[in-house]
Amino acid sequence: MTKWKHCISYPLAAWLAFSPMLAAAQQPGPQPPYLSPEAYALPLDRGASGLWQSLQKLKTRASLMMVVAHPDDEDGGMLAYESRGQGADTTLLTLNRGEGGQNVMTGDYWDQLGIMRTQELLAAGAYYGVHQRWTRVADYGFSKTLDEALKNWGHDRVLYDVVRQVRITRPLVITSVFAGNLSDGHGHHQTAGLMAQEAYKLAGDPNVFPDQIAAGLKPWSPLKVYARVPFARVTEKGIFDYATGKWEPVRFKNYVTGETINAVPSKTLEIPEGTYNALFARNYLAVAREGLANQKSQNDGVGMPLPGQFNSPYHLYASRVSGAALPVAEKTFFDGIDISLTGIADYAPVPDRPNWRKSFDALTVLVNDAMQRFNAADPSQSAPLLAQGLEMTRSLQNQVKNSNLSADARYDMLHELSIKEDQFNDALSQSLGVMLVATVNPVGEKPRMGPFGELRGNTPTYQVAIPGQPVSINVHVANQGAQTVTVDDVALVGDSGDWKWKTTDKTTTALTPGQAGDLTVEGSVPENAPVTKPYFSRPTLEQSYYDLNNPAYLGLPTMPYPVTARLLYSYAGVQASVLGTVQTTHRINGIGPVLEPLMIAPAISVLVSPEAGVIPSSSSSLTLKVALRSNVKGPAEGEVALNLPDGWTSSPRTAHFSTARDGDEKKLIFEVTPKNIQLKPYTITAVAKYDGKEYKEGFTTVSWPGLRPYPSYRPATYRTTGVDLKTPADLKIGYIMGTGEDVPASLSDVGVQVTQLTAADLASTDLSKFDAVVVGIRAYANRPDLRANNNRLLDYVNNGGTVVVEYQTNEYDHNYGPYAISVPSDAEKVVDENSKATILDAADPLLNWPNKITSADFDNWVEERGHGFASTWDPKFTALTEMHDDEQDPQKGGLLYARHGKGLYIYTSFAFFRQIPEGVPGSYRIYMNLISASRNPAYKPASTGVKAAPKKKR
């Protein structure tokens, strides 16, 4: 067998030499590449279909960036059409990760939800065919106005990150779904529209954020900026602002020119997203919706559209194209722009352009010939020309580097040529059918031999490795095409840390058509290898942007995965490469074996639950649960103790743990005895000791079946606040979970006995054993069993029970209460968590037992006051509070109750699902009064004269 040679092409060598430490020192400059975490490209991107799209990209220098606010804001059909149909190099820049949104899939909220929605958007973007980037701001909740969003995020903080990405990606065209005006829906959307236009205007000015220029970036002035024509509801009243629920004058602003447009912006062009592509057997909108279906957390996914024409209209706000006049009618985003390969020569000064144009004309001829030779049945017919094109591109790069061009011209030419080099490299591999898949070998198992050896990829492996751990990786390379290729090198590359590898040859240097081979690479995880985790974090939810733990990665979806496999091969005398993220194998019930990227994790993960809460001032004890997980590949022993406030003690003082294998979990219980509880915050931290090291944080995996998982880390800390909270003894409630929340667990922590009610329970259990039944958030939208058995809840109230209905969506707007109450689809929100809360009747019994509720109980809330405020209600309901955002009408539909028979029916829009898990003291006090209403001694028989049912002995 021939030893594989170590030879690296220039661009790959530059990538391998990139130092994250250097990048951290010059964060505003270039950033490392982001390799796809997928083991396999989508079927759309493989073989003949993938090659045809690569050829479309090779023939053009068109490039486009779309700026949006959240995951699922994007015009996916337009992105798919431009990238997959027109060959444009397309980037999607999303301002935030959707942390403040809803989640109908799991109980993950806040930054954990941001991780989930990032992975959902990555899955969707694979269908759009885009590069993805993010800024550092966080979704802090619904924002009604542009001014509010800019105040929270900081105008220059957002603009800085957007300008930086424009300077990195250098798009010819910028566009957005949003125009920066009130028709966009709310403040975050408006910010995205504003930033698209401001970045167009300012990114080319070297005096704007000059530190980015000093760090190695160059100014860049895109040639055009667009936004989608608004979905504007315009009548004689004006334009309807969905965020505030008010009618406003029809007025739009062009942020480039400062011009005011007193009409809905006109349509400059339409993108024909409904165009059919025979290679895909569907149109571009359908491809995009298939991607959008991966974004389930907000709305449980979308369906596929039926075939048909669909055009997406865009308005041109500004242009630097010579001779362009506004308004204009256009056919494409790139009208008037030379998007041919020869157009790259225009970076050179006028006298030098003819010679450069000859070189790029020759490259164009090669691409055109490769397209002429395209054969879906035998894609390799294009390979010789693609190899020549790759070699010519590299030759052009060397000519540019050694030329007398200005530094700016060299920078811009090399930027576009590097894109072409990557595209030629990918196209060549697609035409030849060369592929690579690298997977972790199961611990203690050798690759299977015999007739079923090829099925070894079905064997589950570990998902995380720890520093110092030995690893064994199988690199599988295959030549699926019709031409012989030569293997030059197969190697593994660590993202950072001092990785050492040893290879075992298993294949020859030549791969003939249909031949495959495997290489086992042995190594160990460096002790200094960074843990795979978000490169950003924030100290509190009230901070509306992230701190950067590793500034080098700013803009990337995640930090790069730790290990990349690299195949260097030669064809027709030209070297090309295939890269792949090293994978693990995870078997999921109902899905089967799934390949997921290898990640690095600490040896011991330790978490405290709950994460936050309150401690009543009268408490004599507190129970804390510590969840410990071992990632050690074998036995592990250690101990866990709590760092407690002064004077507090725990039993046990120290807990011993022993695990037998990787993935073992231990649940440790500590009974904490507090001392002299004050009405102030406290923290308790769990510390695990193993193998001479301390561990004070842990992770949970954020995902749902079918979505690539990613870890969410948090300190092993319990945040609590002393509170004057009175809880009736032996309080029992039944809880009808909606779309996932942590309220039931939080109630259990303060002594409430919570039973989560199943569909069978709703149909038949005796509800009278509960002091209250709580209907969780959005349950009427997600629990058909609740809708079917709603009358049982009304009977329960009529017989003396209490039902508390938390925030609902418009599915509730079907007379499910005992009397009319309306929560329409455009129900009001009060999004300012600091908005004044006025108590309308301080003497009302519901606000006075067992806790005396005052306006102080609305202090220090997080994100919002609430969603789904009732708009109208029967006079039998009593409204207890009023609150509103600036310029919003007074909202009294946040807390309503009515007597019905012997019991009480309560509707509340307050965001308890956010406040209670965060340990907001006042939210516990208010909530306790609601679920204790059937015990409230002030409630006597209703005015009908019916006697109250005697209290049960407990």
- 513-532 tens-digit pLDDT: 999 999 999 999 999 999 99
Walk across the sheet containing 510-511 and list its strands.
510-511, 485-494, 563-571, 574-581
pLDDT confidence bin for 105, thresholds 50/70/90: very high
Q: What's residue 370's pLDDT? A: 98
Q: How many residues are recorded in the chain?
A: 954
Contact 187, 148 (CB under 8 A): yes
Tokens representing 789 are 């058995």
pLDDT confidence bin for 927, thresholds 50/70/90: very high
Contact 906, 803 (CB under 8 A): yes
Average pLDDT, integer, range 146-159: 96
The span from the CA of 642 to the CA of 654, in Å, is: 8
Contact 876, 904 (CB under 8 A): no
Q: What's residue 446's pLDDT? A: 57
Amino acid at 43: P
Average pLDDT, integer, range 543-560: 95
The span from the CA of 699 to the CA of 713, in Å, is: 4
Contacts of 578 (CB under 8 A, 6+ apart): 429, 434, 435, 436, 477, 566, 567, 569
Neighbour-count burial for 199-228, b at 16+ CB within 10 Å, e otherwise = bbbbbbeeebbeebbebebbbbebbbbbbb
Looking at 612-758, list the stretches that DSSP marks H as alpha helix, in order from N- to C-terminal side: 743-748
The pLDDT of residue 547 is above 90: yes
The pLDDT of residue 942 is above 70: no
Greater confidence (109 vs 877) lies with 877
Tokens representing 732 are 């029992």
Contact 330, 268 (CB under 8 A): yes
CA dihedral 815, 817, 819, 822 (to 10 degrees): -50
Q: Which of 714, 716, 697 is nearest to 642 (CA)?
A: 716
pLDDT confidence bin for 504, thresholds 50/70/90: confident
Average pLDDT, integer, range 680-705: 97
DSSP state of 82: I
State the DSSP string of 318-370.
EE-STT--SS---SSTTTTS--SGGGGGGGS-GGGHHHHHHHHHHHHHHHHHH
Average pLDDT, integer, range 348-375: 96
Q: What's residue 454's pLDDT? A: 58
Pair type for strands 89-94 and 224-228: unpaired
The span from the CA of 599 to the CA of 705, in Å, is: 18
Identify the helix (H) or strand (E) that includes residue 125.
Answer: helix 110-128
Contact 863, 140 (CB under 8 A): yes
Looking at 8-87, list the stretches that DSSP marks H as alpha helix, in order from N- to C-terminal side: 10-17, 20-25, 47-58, 76-80
- Report pTM: 0.91
Contact 78, 52 (CB under 8 A): no
Q: What's residue 721's pLDDT? A: 97
Average pLDDT, integer, range 872-884: 98
Pair type for strands 269-272 and 173-176: unpaired
Average pLDDT, integer, range 635-659: 98
pLDDT confidence bin for 498, thresholds 50/70/90: confident
Cα 836 to the center of its chain, rounded Å = 32
The per-residue pLDDT of the chain, averaged, comes to 92
The span from the CA of 917 to the CA of 932, in Å, is: 19
What is the percentage of the chain residues whose pLDDT exceeds 70? 93
Burial of 933 (0-12, 13-18, 19+ CB in 10 A): buried
Q: What's residue 297's pLDDT? A: 95
pLDDT confidence bin for 26, thresholds 50/70/90: very low
Neighbour-count burial for 348-378, b at 16+ CB within 10 Å, e otherwise = beeeeeeebbebbeebbebbeebbebeeeee
Q: Which of 894, 874, 876 is nearest to 885 (CA)?
A: 894
CA angle 169/172/175 to nearest 5° reads: 90
The pLDDT of residue 953 is above 50: no
The pLDDT of residue 338 is above 50: yes
The pLDDT of residue 940 is above 50: yes
The span from the CA of 142 to the CA of 937, in Å, is: 39
Tokens representing 401 are 């580097």
Q: Lowest mean pLDDT of 33-37, 353-357, 441-445, 545-549, name the range.
A: 441-445
pLDDT tens readout for residues 285-332: 999 999 999 999 998 889 989 999 999 999 999 999 987 556 679 999
pLDDT confidence bin for 685, thresholds 50/70/90: very high
Name the β-bridge partners of 732. Answer: 753
Average pLDDT, integer, range 424-436: 98
The pLDDT of residue 242 is above 90: no
- 444 CB neighbour count, 10 Å cutoff: 7
Q: What is the 3-state secondary structure (H, E, C) of 506-559?
A: CCCCEECCCCEEEEEEEEECCCCCCCCCCCEECCCCCCCECEECCHHHCCCCCC
Q: Which of 549, 554, 559, 586 is nearest to 709 (CA)?
A: 586
The pLDDT of residue 681 is above 70: yes
The span from the CA of 308 to the CA of 924, in Å, is: 53
The span from the CA of 41 to the CA of 440, in Å, is: 19
The pLDDT of residue 634 is above 90: yes
The span from the CA of 652 to the CA of 648, in Å, is: 13
Contact 206, 221 (CB under 8 A): no
Greater confidence (424 vs 240) lies with 424
Instruction: Tell me the C-alpha to C-alpha distance, in Å, between residue 766 and each of 682, 763, 935.
Output: 40, 9, 18
pLDDT confidence bin for 13, thresholds 50/70/90: very low
Average pLDDT, integer, range 155-160: 98
Average pLDDT, integer, range 772-798: 96
The span from the CA of 727 to the CA of 924, in Å, is: 10
